[in-house]
Structure 1
Amino acid sequence: MHSVIVVAHPEPGSLTHAVSNRIGDAILAASNGNTIEVADLAAEGFDPRFNPADNALFRQTAAPPADVAAEHARLDRADALVLVYPLYWWSFPALLKGWIDRVFTQGWAYADGADGKVAKKLQHLQVHLVGLGGADAGMIERRGYGTAMKTQIDMGIFDYCGARVQSSTLMLESDSGTAQAHLHTAAGIGRTIGASAAA
Protein backbone atom coordinates (compact mmCIF):
# COMPACT_ATOMS: atom_id res chain seq x y z
CA MET A 1 0.00 0.00 0.00
CA HIS A 2 1.24 3.47 -0.87
CA SER A 3 0.19 6.29 1.45
CA VAL A 4 0.52 10.01 0.84
CA ILE A 5 0.74 11.99 4.07
CA VAL A 6 -0.07 15.66 3.62
CA VAL A 7 1.05 17.88 6.47
CA ALA A 8 0.11 21.54 6.69
CA HIS A 9 2.07 23.40 9.36
CA PRO A 10 4.74 26.07 8.83
CA GLU A 11 7.05 24.84 11.63
CA PRO A 12 8.97 21.58 11.07
CA GLY A 13 9.41 21.19 14.86
CA SER A 14 5.67 21.37 15.55
CA LEU A 15 3.58 18.65 17.17
CA THR A 16 1.70 18.44 13.85
CA HIS A 17 4.91 17.37 12.10
CA ALA A 18 5.79 14.97 14.92
CA VAL A 19 2.37 13.32 14.60
CA SER A 20 2.81 13.09 10.82
CA ASN A 21 6.24 11.48 11.27
CA ARG A 22 4.93 9.00 13.83
CA ILE A 23 2.09 7.95 11.53
CA GLY A 24 4.51 7.47 8.64
CA ASP A 25 6.96 5.44 10.73
CA ALA A 26 4.17 3.16 11.96
CA ILE A 27 2.83 2.60 8.42
CA LEU A 28 6.29 1.53 7.26
CA ALA A 29 6.85 -0.69 10.29
CA ALA A 30 3.55 -2.51 9.78
CA SER A 31 4.55 -4.20 6.51
CA ASN A 32 7.57 -4.57 4.26
CA GLY A 33 5.38 -3.72 1.28
CA ASN A 34 4.16 -0.36 2.56
CA THR A 35 5.51 2.87 1.12
CA ILE A 36 4.85 6.49 2.03
CA GLU A 37 5.34 9.91 0.51
CA VAL A 38 5.17 13.02 2.66
CA ALA A 39 3.81 16.21 1.12
CA ASP A 40 4.95 19.02 3.41
CA LEU A 41 2.94 21.80 1.81
CA ALA A 42 4.75 24.65 3.58
CA ALA A 43 8.25 23.31 2.88
CA GLU A 44 7.35 22.58 -0.74
CA GLY A 45 6.02 26.11 -1.20
CA PHE A 46 2.62 25.02 -2.48
CA ASP A 47 0.61 28.09 -3.52
CA PRO A 48 -2.92 27.72 -2.10
CA ARG A 49 -4.38 30.68 -4.00
CA PHE A 50 -7.06 29.72 -6.52
CA ASN A 51 -6.05 31.63 -9.64
CA PRO A 52 -7.24 32.23 -13.23
CA ALA A 53 -5.53 29.04 -14.44
CA ASP A 54 -7.44 27.07 -11.79
CA ASN A 55 -10.67 28.72 -12.87
CA ALA A 56 -9.97 27.79 -16.50
CA LEU A 57 -9.44 24.19 -15.39
CA PHE A 58 -12.74 24.27 -13.50
CA ARG A 59 -14.46 25.50 -16.67
CA GLN A 60 -12.68 22.71 -18.59
CA THR A 61 -11.08 25.19 -21.00
CA ALA A 62 -7.45 24.52 -20.01
CA ALA A 63 -5.19 21.76 -18.75
CA PRO A 64 -4.20 21.64 -15.08
CA PRO A 65 -1.44 24.04 -14.01
CA ALA A 66 1.88 22.20 -13.55
CA ASP A 67 1.75 22.22 -9.74
CA VAL A 68 -1.80 20.86 -9.72
CA ALA A 69 -0.93 18.18 -12.29
CA ALA A 70 1.97 17.11 -10.04
CA GLU A 71 -0.42 16.74 -7.09
CA HIS A 72 -2.86 14.75 -9.25
CA ALA A 73 -0.02 12.39 -10.18
CA ARG A 74 1.03 12.07 -6.55
CA LEU A 75 -2.50 11.13 -5.49
CA ASP A 76 -3.02 8.82 -8.48
CA ARG A 77 -0.16 6.73 -7.05
CA ALA A 78 -1.78 6.60 -3.60
CA ASP A 79 -4.02 4.03 -2.00
CA ALA A 80 -4.38 6.07 1.18
CA LEU A 81 -4.36 9.81 1.87
CA VAL A 82 -3.55 11.01 5.38
CA LEU A 83 -4.11 14.69 6.19
CA VAL A 84 -2.39 15.98 9.34
CA TYR A 85 -3.17 19.59 10.24
CA PRO A 86 -3.77 22.06 13.05
CA LEU A 87 -7.36 23.22 13.51
CA TYR A 88 -7.69 26.87 12.53
CA TRP A 89 -11.16 28.27 13.21
CA TRP A 90 -12.65 24.77 13.35
CA SER A 91 -11.43 23.71 9.95
CA PHE A 92 -8.33 23.29 7.80
CA PRO A 93 -5.65 25.98 7.79
CA ALA A 94 -5.73 28.10 4.61
CA LEU A 95 -2.73 26.25 3.15
CA LEU A 96 -4.53 22.89 3.28
CA LYS A 97 -7.91 24.29 2.24
CA GLY A 98 -6.23 25.92 -0.75
CA TRP A 99 -4.58 22.60 -1.61
CA ILE A 100 -8.02 20.97 -1.61
CA ASP A 101 -9.51 23.85 -3.62
CA ARG A 102 -6.84 23.64 -6.29
CA VAL A 103 -6.19 19.87 -6.41
CA PHE A 104 -9.62 18.26 -6.01
CA THR A 105 -10.70 19.48 -9.41
CA GLN A 106 -13.63 19.06 -11.73
CA GLY A 107 -12.81 16.28 -14.18
CA TRP A 108 -10.21 14.65 -11.91
CA ALA A 109 -11.80 14.31 -8.45
CA TYR A 110 -15.38 14.45 -9.66
CA ALA A 111 -17.30 15.19 -12.84
CA ASP A 112 -20.61 16.97 -13.18
CA GLY A 113 -22.77 15.03 -15.60
CA ALA A 114 -25.20 16.53 -18.10
CA ASP A 115 -27.96 14.70 -16.20
CA GLY A 116 -27.09 16.60 -13.01
CA LYS A 117 -25.47 13.57 -11.37
CA VAL A 118 -21.96 13.72 -10.02
CA ALA A 119 -19.44 11.05 -11.00
CA LYS A 120 -17.26 10.32 -7.96
CA LYS A 121 -13.76 9.69 -9.30
CA LEU A 122 -11.68 9.08 -6.15
CA GLN A 123 -13.26 5.81 -5.03
CA HIS A 124 -9.85 4.12 -4.89
CA LEU A 125 -8.67 6.45 -2.13
CA GLN A 126 -8.88 5.73 1.60
CA VAL A 127 -8.72 8.91 3.68
CA HIS A 128 -7.53 9.40 7.26
CA LEU A 129 -8.01 12.84 8.85
CA VAL A 130 -5.93 13.93 11.84
CA GLY A 131 -6.64 17.38 13.26
CA LEU A 132 -4.79 18.88 16.22
CA GLY A 133 -6.47 21.52 18.37
CA GLY A 134 -6.05 23.36 21.63
CA ALA A 135 -9.71 23.10 22.70
CA ASP A 136 -11.08 20.28 24.82
CA ALA A 137 -13.64 17.68 23.77
CA GLY A 138 -16.34 19.28 25.92
CA MET A 139 -16.10 22.55 24.03
CA ILE A 140 -16.13 20.76 20.67
CA GLU A 141 -19.28 18.87 21.70
CA ARG A 142 -21.11 21.81 23.31
CA ARG A 143 -20.74 24.02 20.29
CA GLY A 144 -21.32 21.35 17.68
CA TYR A 145 -17.93 21.90 16.02
CA GLY A 146 -17.22 18.19 15.61
CA THR A 147 -20.45 17.58 13.73
CA ALA A 148 -19.88 20.69 11.62
CA MET A 149 -16.37 19.58 10.65
CA LYS A 150 -17.57 16.08 9.72
CA THR A 151 -20.30 17.59 7.55
CA GLN A 152 -17.97 20.07 5.87
CA ILE A 153 -14.87 17.89 5.46
CA ASP A 154 -15.79 14.19 5.62
CA MET A 155 -19.01 14.54 3.63
CA GLY A 156 -18.66 17.85 1.82
CA ILE A 157 -15.25 17.13 0.33
CA PHE A 158 -14.38 13.46 0.40
CA ASP A 159 -17.75 11.76 0.09
CA TYR A 160 -18.56 14.15 -2.76
CA CYS A 161 -15.55 12.75 -4.63
CA GLY A 162 -16.13 9.14 -3.58
CA ALA A 163 -13.08 8.89 -1.31
CA ARG A 164 -13.80 6.87 1.83
CA VAL A 165 -12.98 8.50 5.16
CA GLN A 166 -11.70 5.51 7.11
CA SER A 167 -10.84 7.49 10.23
CA SER A 168 -11.29 11.02 11.47
CA THR A 169 -9.35 11.81 14.64
CA LEU A 170 -9.19 15.01 16.67
CA MET A 171 -6.18 15.29 18.96
CA LEU A 172 -7.34 17.92 21.42
CA GLU A 173 -5.84 19.93 24.27
CA SER A 174 -2.58 19.76 22.35
CA ASP A 175 -1.26 22.86 24.12
CA SER A 176 -1.49 21.33 27.58
CA GLY A 177 1.08 18.56 27.85
CA THR A 178 -0.68 15.86 25.85
CA ALA A 179 2.03 15.47 23.21
CA GLN A 180 3.08 11.96 24.27
CA ALA A 181 -0.51 10.73 24.28
CA HIS A 182 -1.04 12.20 20.82
CA LEU A 183 2.11 10.55 19.51
CA HIS A 184 0.88 7.23 20.90
CA THR A 185 -2.46 7.74 19.13
CA ALA A 186 -0.59 8.65 15.92
CA ALA A 187 1.36 5.40 16.04
CA GLY A 188 -1.92 3.51 16.37
CA ILE A 189 -3.34 5.29 13.34
CA GLY A 190 -0.25 4.39 11.35
CA ARG A 191 -0.38 0.75 12.43
CA THR A 192 -4.04 0.55 11.39
CA ILE A 193 -3.29 2.02 7.98
CA GLY A 194 -0.30 -0.26 7.53
CA ALA A 195 -2.20 -3.35 8.64
CA SER A 196 -4.98 -2.68 6.12
CA ALA A 197 -2.43 -3.29 3.38
CA ALA A 198 -1.54 -6.70 4.77
CA ALA A 199 -5.23 -7.58 5.05
Structure 2
Amino acid sequence: MRCLIILAHPLETSYAASLAATAKAALEARGHDVDLLDLYREGFDPRLTPSERAGYFDVPYDVSAVAAEVARLQAAEALVLVFPQWWFNVPAILKGWFDRVLAPGVAFEHDKAGGRIVPRLANIRHLWVLTTTGSPWWVVKLYMGDPVRRLLKRGIANVCAPRCRFRMLTLHDMDRATPERLAAHLERVRGEMGQL
Protein backbone atom coordinates (compact mmCIF):
# COMPACT_ATOMS: atom_id res chain seq x y z
CA MET A 1 0.00 0.00 0.00
CA ARG A 2 1.19 3.54 -0.72
CA CYS A 3 1.31 5.61 2.47
CA LEU A 4 1.79 9.36 2.75
CA ILE A 5 3.03 10.63 6.11
CA ILE A 6 2.62 14.36 6.69
CA LEU A 7 4.87 15.73 9.45
CA ALA A 8 4.15 19.20 10.84
CA HIS A 9 6.73 20.31 13.41
CA PRO A 10 9.46 22.98 13.08
CA LEU A 11 12.08 21.05 15.07
CA GLU A 12 13.95 18.15 13.46
CA THR A 13 14.60 16.68 16.93
CA SER A 14 10.96 16.87 18.08
CA TYR A 15 8.96 14.00 19.49
CA ALA A 16 6.67 14.41 16.47
CA ALA A 17 9.66 13.68 14.23
CA SER A 18 10.30 10.54 16.30
CA LEU A 19 6.65 9.54 15.84
CA ALA A 20 6.92 10.03 12.08
CA ALA A 21 10.16 8.03 11.88
CA THR A 22 8.63 5.23 13.98
CA ALA A 23 5.52 5.11 11.79
CA LYS A 24 7.62 5.11 8.62
CA ALA A 25 9.82 2.26 9.85
CA ALA A 26 6.81 0.19 10.98
CA LEU A 27 5.02 0.66 7.66
CA GLU A 28 8.12 -0.13 5.62
CA ALA A 29 8.73 -3.25 7.71
CA ARG A 30 5.28 -4.44 6.58
CA GLY A 31 6.25 -3.86 2.94
CA HIS A 32 4.35 -0.61 2.39
CA ASP A 33 5.68 2.14 0.12
CA VAL A 34 6.08 5.24 2.32
CA ASP A 35 6.38 8.87 1.24
CA LEU A 36 7.33 11.23 4.10
CA LEU A 37 6.32 14.85 3.51
CA ASP A 38 7.97 17.03 6.15
CA LEU A 39 6.17 20.34 5.65
CA TYR A 40 8.84 22.48 7.36
CA ARG A 41 11.87 20.78 5.81
CA GLU A 42 10.33 20.92 2.33
CA GLY A 43 9.44 24.59 2.74
CA PHE A 44 5.70 24.22 2.21
CA ASP A 45 4.01 27.63 2.07
CA PRO A 46 0.73 27.38 4.03
CA ARG A 47 -0.66 30.70 2.85
CA LEU A 48 -3.72 30.46 0.63
CA THR A 49 -3.04 32.96 -2.16
CA PRO A 50 -5.50 35.65 -3.26
CA SER A 51 -5.93 33.92 -6.63
CA GLU A 52 -6.56 30.54 -4.97
CA ARG A 53 -9.29 32.05 -2.81
CA ALA A 54 -10.81 34.11 -5.61
CA GLY A 55 -11.00 31.02 -7.85
CA TYR A 56 -12.36 28.65 -5.19
CA PHE A 57 -15.54 27.95 -7.16
CA ASP A 58 -13.89 27.85 -10.58
CA VAL A 59 -14.15 24.60 -12.50
CA PRO A 60 -11.52 23.37 -12.77
CA TYR A 61 -9.95 24.86 -9.66
CA ASP A 62 -6.30 25.83 -10.20
CA VAL A 63 -4.03 23.71 -7.99
CA SER A 64 -0.92 24.32 -10.08
CA ALA A 65 0.92 26.04 -7.20
CA VAL A 66 0.62 22.87 -5.08
CA ALA A 67 0.63 20.31 -7.89
CA ALA A 68 3.46 18.27 -6.33
CA GLU A 69 1.64 17.96 -3.00
CA VAL A 70 -1.64 17.10 -4.76
CA ALA A 71 0.10 14.36 -6.76
CA ARG A 72 1.55 12.86 -3.58
CA LEU A 73 -1.89 12.86 -1.93
CA GLN A 74 -3.58 11.34 -4.98
CA ALA A 75 -0.96 8.57 -5.13
CA ALA A 76 -1.60 7.56 -1.51
CA GLU A 77 -3.92 4.89 -0.17
CA ALA A 78 -3.17 5.71 3.47
CA LEU A 79 -2.65 9.17 4.95
CA VAL A 80 -0.85 9.54 8.28
CA LEU A 81 -0.86 12.98 9.92
CA VAL A 82 1.82 13.59 12.58
CA PHE A 83 1.76 16.82 14.60
CA PRO A 84 1.51 18.38 18.06
CA GLN A 85 -1.74 20.02 19.13
CA TRP A 86 -1.20 23.70 19.89
CA TRP A 87 -4.07 25.70 21.37
CA PHE A 88 -6.35 22.69 20.81
CA ASN A 89 -5.73 22.83 17.08
CA VAL A 90 -3.36 21.68 14.35
CA PRO A 91 -0.19 23.70 13.64
CA ALA A 92 -0.72 26.56 11.18
CA ILE A 93 1.44 24.89 8.52
CA LEU A 94 -0.79 21.80 8.55
CA LYS A 95 -3.96 23.92 8.44
CA GLY A 96 -2.44 25.64 5.40
CA TRP A 97 -1.83 22.24 3.79
CA PHE A 98 -5.52 21.44 4.36
CA ASP A 99 -6.56 24.80 2.86
CA ARG A 100 -4.36 24.55 -0.22
CA VAL A 101 -4.16 20.81 -0.99
CA LEU A 102 -7.56 19.50 0.15
CA ALA A 103 -9.01 21.69 -2.56
CA PRO A 104 -11.99 21.52 -4.91
CA GLY A 105 -11.38 18.92 -7.60
CA VAL A 106 -8.88 17.15 -5.34
CA ALA A 107 -10.53 16.33 -2.00
CA PHE A 108 -14.10 17.20 -2.96
CA GLU A 109 -16.38 18.76 -5.56
CA HIS A 110 -18.88 21.51 -4.88
CA ASP A 111 -22.43 20.22 -5.08
CA LYS A 112 -24.01 22.03 -8.03
CA ALA A 113 -27.31 22.20 -6.12
CA GLY A 114 -25.54 23.98 -3.27
CA GLY A 115 -24.94 23.03 0.32
CA ARG A 116 -23.17 19.70 0.61
CA ILE A 117 -19.94 18.76 -1.08
CA VAL A 118 -19.14 15.58 -2.99
CA PRO A 119 -16.16 13.50 -1.75
CA ARG A 120 -13.19 12.92 -4.08
CA LEU A 121 -10.59 11.15 -1.91
CA ALA A 122 -11.77 7.61 -2.66
CA ASN A 123 -8.10 6.60 -2.91
CA ILE A 124 -7.58 7.18 0.84
CA ARG A 125 -8.55 3.94 2.58
CA HIS A 126 -6.92 4.78 5.92
CA LEU A 127 -6.51 8.09 7.75
CA TRP A 128 -4.34 7.82 10.84
CA VAL A 129 -3.45 10.64 13.19
CA LEU A 130 -0.42 10.56 15.52
CA THR A 131 -0.49 13.56 17.80
CA THR A 132 0.50 14.93 21.18
CA THR A 133 -0.96 17.54 23.47
CA GLY A 134 0.30 19.23 26.60
CA SER A 135 -3.14 19.04 28.19
CA PRO A 136 -4.44 16.12 30.24
CA TRP A 137 -6.96 13.86 28.50
CA TRP A 138 -9.89 15.19 30.52
CA VAL A 139 -9.24 18.80 29.44
CA VAL A 140 -9.08 17.78 25.78
CA LYS A 141 -12.04 15.41 25.82
CA LEU A 142 -14.39 16.66 28.53
CA TYR A 143 -13.77 20.39 28.67
CA MET A 144 -12.83 21.14 25.03
CA GLY A 145 -14.83 18.36 23.34
CA ASP A 146 -11.82 16.86 21.49
CA PRO A 147 -11.79 19.54 18.74
CA VAL A 148 -8.91 18.12 16.68
CA ARG A 149 -10.49 14.68 16.49
CA ARG A 150 -13.83 16.22 15.49
CA LEU A 151 -12.19 18.35 12.80
CA LEU A 152 -10.26 15.46 11.29
CA LYS A 153 -12.89 12.74 11.57
CA ARG A 154 -16.05 14.69 10.83
CA GLY A 155 -14.68 17.57 8.79
CA ILE A 156 -12.08 15.79 6.64
CA ALA A 157 -12.41 12.00 6.78
CA ASN A 158 -16.21 11.77 6.72
CA VAL A 159 -16.60 14.54 4.15
CA CYS A 160 -13.71 13.90 1.74
CA ALA A 161 -13.01 10.15 2.19
CA PRO A 162 -16.14 8.70 3.82
CA ARG A 163 -15.10 5.08 3.30
CA CYS A 164 -11.71 5.44 4.96
CA ARG A 165 -10.88 3.90 8.31
CA PHE A 166 -10.03 6.63 10.83
CA ARG A 167 -7.67 6.05 13.77
CA MET A 168 -6.18 8.62 16.16
CA LEU A 169 -3.45 7.94 18.72
CA THR A 170 -2.85 10.84 21.10
CA LEU A 171 -0.26 11.21 23.83
CA HIS A 172 -1.88 13.52 26.40
CA ASP A 173 -0.08 15.52 29.09
CA MET A 174 3.02 15.57 26.90
CA ASP A 175 4.77 18.31 28.87
CA ARG A 176 4.99 16.08 31.94
CA ALA A 177 5.67 12.77 30.21
CA THR A 178 8.60 10.75 31.53
CA PRO A 179 11.18 9.26 29.15
CA GLU A 180 9.66 5.85 29.90
CA ARG A 181 6.18 7.03 28.94
CA LEU A 182 7.48 8.63 25.73
CA ALA A 183 9.26 5.40 24.80
CA ALA A 184 6.17 3.33 25.61
CA HIS A 185 4.04 5.51 23.35
CA LEU A 186 6.52 5.08 20.48
CA GLU A 187 6.25 1.31 20.98
CA ARG A 188 2.46 1.57 20.90
CA VAL A 189 2.67 3.51 17.63
CA ARG A 190 5.13 0.96 16.21
CA GLY A 191 2.82 -1.91 17.12
CA GLU A 192 -0.37 -0.32 15.83
CA MET A 193 1.15 1.01 12.61
CA GLY A 194 2.61 -2.44 12.06
CA GLN A 195 -0.94 -3.77 11.74
CA LEU A 196 -1.92 -1.43 8.91
Q: What TM-score do the two structures reach when normalised by structure 2?
A: 0.89
Cα distance in 2 for residues equivalent to 1:165 and 1:3: 14
Separation in 2 of the partners of 1:45 and 1:2?
Answer: 23
Q: What is the 5 A alignment of 1:39-58? A: 39-58=37-56
Q: Does 1:134 pair with 2:137?
A: no
Segments of structure 2 that go 5 or more residues without pairing to the other structure are none
Residues 63 and 101 of structure 2 are in contact (CA less than 8 Å); yes or no, is this contact kept in structure 1? no
Give 1:36 shift: 0.1
1:150 Cα deviation after fit: 2.6
Runs of 4+ in 1 over 4 A off after TM superposition: none
Higher helix share: 1
Residues 172-187 of structure 1: pairs in structure 2 closer than 5 A: 172-175=172-175, 176-177=177-178, 178-187=181-190
RMSD: 1.6
Q: Which residue of 2 aligns with 1:118?
A: 117
Alignment-derived partner of residue 63 in structure 1: 62
The share of aligned pairs that are identical, in percent, is 30
The 5-angstrom pairing of residues 66-85 of structure 1 reads 66=65, 68-85=66-83
Question: What amino acid maps onto 1:63 in structure 2?
Answer: D
With 128-137 and 156-165 compared, the bigger mean Cα shift is at 156-165
Distance 1:165 1:90 in 2: 23
Tell me the equivalent position of 1:14: 14
Q: Which residue identity does 1:109 align to in structure 2?
A: A
Aligned length: 189
After TM superposition, give the deviation of residue 143 of structure 1 in Å. 0.5
Larger RCO: Structure 1 or Structure 2 (Cα < 8 Å, ≥ 6 residues apart)? 1
Q: Is the 8 A contact 2:88 2:140 kept in 1?
A: no
Shift in Å, 1:134: 1.5
Q: Which runs of 5+ in 1 are unaligned?
A: 194-199
Instruction: Determine helix, strand or coil for the equivalent of 2:68.
Output: helix
